[in-house]
Structure formats: C-alpha cells, structure tokens
Amino acid sequence: MPSKLLTLALGLALGFWAAPAQADELAAIKLAQPDMSAAGLTVIQALSARKSDRTFADRELSLRHLSEALWAAGGINRPDGHRTAPTANNRQAIEIFAITKAGTYHYDPLSHELRPLTPGDHRAAAGSQGYVATAPLNIIYAADLGKYKGDNAEKKAVAGMDLGHFSENVYLYCASAGLNVVTRISIDPKVLGPLLKLDADLVPLMGQTVGYPQ
C-alpha cells in the first residue's frame, strides 16, 4: 500500500482527521454528517451551560466535533437548502472559513466539506490573542457586503445580526458537546484576506475559537 494511503488508513482507523503528509498537499476534508440520534443536552440545558472560554487543550478536534461545529454554524438542515442559521432576507451573505494546524479552508455547506485554500499552520494569523495560535480550530466569518442593501454602515449592521445567529449556534453546540469556545472581533482583514483567498466583496468580520478544555 502506498505510504500516503497507509497514513490515511491509519488516521481513519484511529478516528482522527489528519493533515496531509506534505505541507503543499492540502486536501479537502469530507465532513461527517451530524448525528441526529445522539443524546445530548436540551436547549435549556445548553443555554445554562453556554459560556466563553479562552483556554484550550493542545489536541486536534475529532472529525465528528469539527464537522458538527461547522454544520451548527451554517450547515444545510433542510432539503430545500436552507441553513441552521437565519440570514436577513435569506441573502446567504455569510461565508465560513476554518483555520487549523494543517491549513486554511472554506466551508462548503452544500457538499458539507472543507475546501483547501492555503497549506501550513497559520493559526497565529487568526487573531491577536495568544491562544488562537494553539487552539485546534479558528472559525472566521466573512460577509459578502454586496448582497446587502443600503450604505456600508447599514450593510455591516445587518451582517452583524447574521453573524450573531451563526456564532450563537456554535456556542450552543459547544456547550452541548463539552467544547470550549469564544467569539472574537480581534482579526486583521489585511492578514486574513490572502490566507483565505478573499475577493473584494468578502470582508472578514468575526472569529470564533473552538477546542477541548484543558
């Protein structure tokens, strides 16, 4: 068996999603479908447990937790293509990106997978706080302001409302799954733009750091 296939097979057998063997070979990650039958907290219990945490264990997220956190943020939850988080006038203007130890990715809700963008460990670029450089997942939310109406201030205000829905979904999921999470606006669009390969209409507005408790 070729070494690359052997590495993948061992990773799958151990239940991990693994980084590619070479830094310049960043592959797409096919995410697992959320387990709708798994027992968990009620919404009231998740709200009671919801909190911000800024300490994270130095270990990768399982494929299940990675998949479900991104699906909670803005995945497809109905056959008609609508998503877990509402958006103003259903404009679907929020794009989700993931920064991990392996590289940067764009979350595609239709195929429920992470599309590779930039290989390498760029977690330190996800924000100014020290913990973002070692946490296993930094979610970056970018808004396509061209999809909103009004002037720039009005567009950002509506985008902020949409971002609140996305980030709160992740908060409640993390409370239910026993993960630590914190939302941040300490991001640098000039740094993130090239890493996430953003076009002029996409503006990164918020980050969210996710990982296991220490």
The domains of the chain, with CATH numbers, are: 26-211 (3.40.109.10)
Continuous H helices in 63-142 = 63-74
pLDDT (0 to 100) of residue 9 = 36
Counting other chains too, the contacts that 87-93 makes at CB distance below 8 Å and 24 or more residues apart are 87/162, 87/165, 88/148, 88/158, 88/161, 88/162, 91/147, 91/148, 92/147, 93/143, 93/144, 93/145, 93/147, 93/148, 93/159, 93/162
Tens-place pLDDT, residues 52-102: 999 999 899 999 999 999 999 999 999 999 999 999 988 899 999 999 999
Question: 11: helix, coil or strand?
Answer: helix
pLDDT (0 to 100) of residue 17 = 44
pTM: predicted TM-score of the whole model, two decimal places: 0.86
Q: Residues of the chain whose pLDDT is less than 70? A: 1-24
